[in-house]
Structure 1
Amino acid sequence: MGGPSSEREVSLSTGRGCAEALRGEGYRVFEVDAGPDLAERLGELRPDIVFNALHGRWGEDGCVQGMLEWLRLPYTHSGVLASSTAMDKTRTKDIYRAHGLPVVESRIVPRETAMASHVMAPPYVVKPNAEGSSVGIYIVPEGANAPPALADTMPAEVMVETYAPGRELTCTVLGDAALTVTEIVTRGWYDYEAKYSAGGSTHILPAEIPAEIFAACQDFAMRAHRALGCRSISRTDFRWDESRGLDGLILLETNTQPGMTPTSLSPEQAHHAGITFGQLCARLVEEASCDR
Structure 2
Amino acid sequence: MSSFTEIYETRNIIENPSDFGRVAVMYGGSSSEREISLKSGKAVLKALLSRGVEAHSWDPYEKPMKDFKKVGFDRAWIALHGINGEDGVIQDNLQHLNTPYTGSGVKASATAMNKLLSKNIFRSANIPTPNFEVAKSYKDASIAIEKIGYPLIIKPLCQGSSVGMSKVLERADLKDAVEKALLYGEIFLIEECINGEEITISVLQGEALPSIRIITPRVFYDFHAKYESDRTEYVCKGTSNDAEEKLYADIAINAFQKLGCKGWGRVDFMIASNGQPQVLEVNTVPGMTSHSLVPMAAHHIGISFEELCWRILETSFENRIEVSSNDS
Give the structure-2-normalised TM-score.
0.83
Name the residue aligned to 2:270: 239
In 2, the alpha carbon distance for the partners of 1:118 and 1:256 equals 29
**Pairing 1:157–2:179 present:** no
CA contact 2:133–2:144 (8 Å) conserved in 1: no
Which stretches in structure 1 are left out of the alignment for 5+ residues?
A: none
Please, which of 52, 61, 68 is the counterpart of residue 42 of structure 1?
A: 68
**Pairing 1:68–2:94 present:** yes
Name the residue aligned to 1:51: 77
Identical columns (%): 34
Name the residue aligned to 2:217: 187
CA contact 1:54–1:60 (8 Å) conserved in 2: yes
- More displaced stretch, 270-279 vs 122-131: 270-279
- More displaced stretch, 60-69 vs 271-280: 271-280
Residue 280 of structure 2 aligns with an amino acid whose one-letter code is L
SS at match of 2:78: coil
Name the residue aligned to 1:2: 28
**Pairing 1:224–2:250 present:** no
Name the residue aligned to 2:24: none
Residue 284 of structure 1 aligns with an amino acid whose one-letter code is I
**Pairing 1:135–2:163 present:** yes
Cα RMSD (Å):
1.8
CA contact 1:73–1:290 (8 Å) conserved in 2: no
Query: 1:118: how far off?
Result: 6.1
In 2, the alpha carbon distance for the partners of 1:26 and 1:174 equals 22
SS at match of 1:169: strand
In 1, the alpha carbon distance for the partners of 2:144 and 2:224 equals 27
Which stretches in structure 2 are left out of the alignment for 5+ residues?
A: 1-26, 323-328
CA contact 1:193–1:200 (8 Å) conserved in 2: no
In 1, the alpha carbon distance for the partners of 2:231 and 2:92 equals 35
CA contact 2:212–2:234 (8 Å) conserved in 1: yes
Please, which of 214, 232, 240 is the counterpart of residue 209 of structure 1?
A: 240
1:157-181 CA-partner distances (Å, limit 9, x unpaired) = 1111111121110001111211110
In 2, the alpha carbon distance for the partners of 1:117 and 1:145 equals 15
Query: 1:28: how far off?
Result: 1.2
Alignment of 1:5-154 (within 5 A): 5-35=31-61, 37-114=63-140, 119-120=145-146, 121-141=149-169, 143-145=170-172, 147-149=174-176, 150-151=179-180, 153-154=183-184
- Corresponding residue pairs, total: 288
Query: 1:123: how far off?
Result: 1.2
Give the structure-1-normalised TM-score.
0.93
In 2, the alpha carbon distance for the partners of 1:83 and 1:11 equals 16
CA contact 2:135–2:141 (8 Å) conserved in 1: no
In 1, the alpha carbon distance for the partners of 2:269 and 2:132 equals 16
